[in-house]
Amino acid sequence: MNNNSSFHQAWQAFWVLKKHRQEPLWAQLAVGAALALPTGFCMMLINGLLTGRVSDLGWWRASLLFNLFSCLCVVYSMLAITRAIEKLLPEARVEAISQAGDWRTALVINASTVAGILLGCTVSVSLYSWLSGWNAWALLGNRIVWTELLAFVLVVATANWFWWRLRIKQERLRHQAMEAQLRLLQAQIEPHFLFNTLANVHSLIDCDTPRAKQMLETFTDYLRASLGQLRHTDSTLAAELEMVSSYLTLFQIRMEDRLRFEIDASDEALAASLPTLLLQPLVENAIEHGLEPKVEGGRVCIRARVADGQLAICVDDDGLGLDAPRRARQRGNSMALSNIRERLRTRYGNGAALTLQAQAVGTLASLSLPYQRPA
C-alpha cells in the first residue's frame, strides 16, 4: 500500500470505530496533524480578529506555537481515546456502535471529543510548561481562556453532530442505490432462468412426468424463497442456503448425473446475518461458468464456518476454471461479482472481502465478512 492510499484510508476511517484496522499508525498521526494544525491556525486568526491583535507579530510569535502544540495534543488525545474504546469493547459492540444510523455513534464521538479536548489541554499545558519553563497554567486564571475553551467544545460537538447526520444520509442513499442495482441485476438474470426452467418442464411432461413434476415443485420452492428474499435487505445464511439448495436441485434435475453438490455449514454460521442474495451469484458462477459447459459436469461444495469473529463462506467447484471462455449470455455474472464487492464495501468497509482463486481443477470463491446475528 503506497503512502497516498494509506493516508486516504486513514482519513476515511479516522472517526469510525473499527476493531481491526489496516491503516498504519503514521497515517493516523498524519491525518491528526492535518486536522490539528489548520484548526490551531484558524483559532489564532479568529482570536486575533476579535481582539484586534491580528497584525501584532509579537502576539503571533508568542502564541502560535503554543496553540498549534495544544491542538496537536487535543487531536492525538481524541485519537488515543477512540482507539482505546476499540480495544476495550467487544467486537460485536464496536460493530454495533460503528453503524452510522445508531445514535450511540454520535454519543461516543462527542464523548470522546470532549474527553480528548480536556485531556489534550491538560497534557499540552503540562508539557509546554515543562519544556519551555513558562507557567502555562497561569492562563487558566483568565476568564477569556475558559470562554474560548467552552466555545471550542461547543463548536466541535456541533460539527460532530452535523457530520453524523450527513453520514447517515450518505449511507442511506448509498444503501438504497446498491439495493436498487441488485434488484435490477436480478431482473436481468431471472427471466432467462425462468424461461429455461419452464422449457425444461415442458419437454419432460410427455417423456418423464415424475421428473417434470419434481422440477416444477422445486422451482416453486425456489421462487417462494427468492421472492421472499427480495423483499428484505438482510437475511440469514440459513435462508440463503435454502434458496441456493433449491437452485442447485433444479440444475441437478436438468443435468442429472453431471451435477453433484454438497452444503456444509455449522449451526453458528447458519444463524449469521448477511445482506440478501449475496451467496447465490457465486453459485451461479460455479454452475454456468464451470460445470454446465463441462461435458462430464462436476461437483460444487459450499462450506460456511465462523472463526475469529468472521463468517467465512467458500464455494468450491471442479469446473472449467477462471480461464475458460465465457458465453455471451453470462456477462451479467461479472456485474454480479462487482455488485457483491461494492455491497461488501458499502456495508462493512475493509472488514469484508470476496476473492476468486484458480485451483488445479476449478475455482474457489471465498467470502469473508463480520459475523453478526439478526437484531
DSSP 235-261: EEHHHHHHHHHHHHHHHHHHHGGGEEE
pLDDT at 116: 82
Location of C-alpha cell 440459513: 238
Q: What DSSP letter does each residue of 72-112 carry, written as one string?
A: HHHHHHHHHHHHHHHHHS-HHHHHHHHSTT-HHHHHHHHHH
**Residue among 181, 177, 277 at smallest CA distance from 232:** 277
Helices 57-88 and 103-132, axial angle in degrees (round to 10): 130
**69 band by pLDDT with thresholds 50, 70 and 90:** confident
Given a cut of 60, whether residue 252 has pLDDT beyond it is yes
Domain 174-370 classification at class level: alpha beta
pLDDT at 190: 56
Q: When comparing pLDDT for 59 and 264, which is higher?
A: 264
In this predicted model, what pLDDT tens digit does every residue of 12-24 receive, in sequence order? 777 677 777 878 8
Q: For the residues 146-173, what does the mean pLDDT come to? A: 72
For the question of whether the overall pTM of this predicted structure is more than 0.75, the answer is no
Given a cut of 90, whether residue 157 has pLDDT beyond it is no
Lowest mean pLDDT among 57-66, 206-215, 265-274: 206-215
Domain boundaries, the chain: 3-141, 174-370
- Gap between the Cα atoms of 236 and 232, Å rounded: 11
Non-local CB neighbours of 298 within 8 Å, separated by 6+ positions: 258, 259, 260, 290, 291, 317, 318, 319, 362
- Gap between the Cα atoms of 171 and 348, Å rounded: 11
Location of C-alpha cell 502544540: 69
Q: For the residues 33-44, what does the mean pLDDT come to? A: 85
pLDDT at 102: 58
In this predicted model, what pLDDT tens digit does every residue of 163-176 receive, in sequence order? 667 767 776 777 66
- Gap between the Cα atoms of 237 and 244, Å rounded: 10
Q: When comparing pLDDT for 328 and 112, which is higher?
A: 112
pLDDT at 222: 76
Q: Which three cell numbers stand for residue 70?
A: 495544544
pLDDT at 61: 84
pLDDT at 269: 94
Whether residue 347 contacts residue 372, with contact meaning beta carbons closer than 8 Å, is answered with no
| CA terminus-to-terminus distance, the chain | 36
In this predicted model, what pLDDT tens digit does every residue of 236-248 receive, in sequence order? 999 899 889 988 9
Query: Cα separations (Å) of 273 from 63, 104, 226?
Result: 54, 21, 16
- Kind of pairing, strands 259-265 and 298-307? parallel
What are residue 359's phi and psi, to 5 degrees?
A: -115, 175
pLDDT at 183: 59
Location of C-alpha cell 487535543: 74
Task: Give the mean pLDDT of the chain.
Answer: 79
Q: When comparing pLDDT for 139 and 262, which is higher?
A: 262
Query: Cα separations (Å) of 109 from 39, 163, 232, 333?
Result: 18, 10, 30, 40
Given a cut of 60, whether residue 74 has pLDDT beyond it is yes
Q: For the residues 111-121, what does the mean pLDDT come to? A: 82
Q: When comparing pLDDT for 214 and 324, which is higher?
A: 214
Q: What DSSP letter does each residue of 265-312 carry, written as one string?
A: E-HHHHT-EEETTSSHHHHHHIIIIIITTSTT-EEEEEEEEEETTEEE
Q: Could you give the percent of the chain with pLDDT greater than 70?
A: 79
In this predicted model, what pLDDT tens digit does every residue of 253-272 receive, in sequence order? 888 889 999 999 999 999 99
Q: Could you give the percent of the chain with pLDDT greater than 90?
A: 14
Q: For the residues 108-124, what does the mean pLDDT come to? A: 81
Given a cut of 80, whether residue 204 has pLDDT beyond it is no
Given a cut of 90, whether residue 233 has pLDDT beyond it is no
Q: For the residues 294-301, what does the mean pLDDT come to? A: 91
Exposed/middle/buried for residue 375 (C-beta within 10 Å: 0-12, 13-18, 19+): exposed
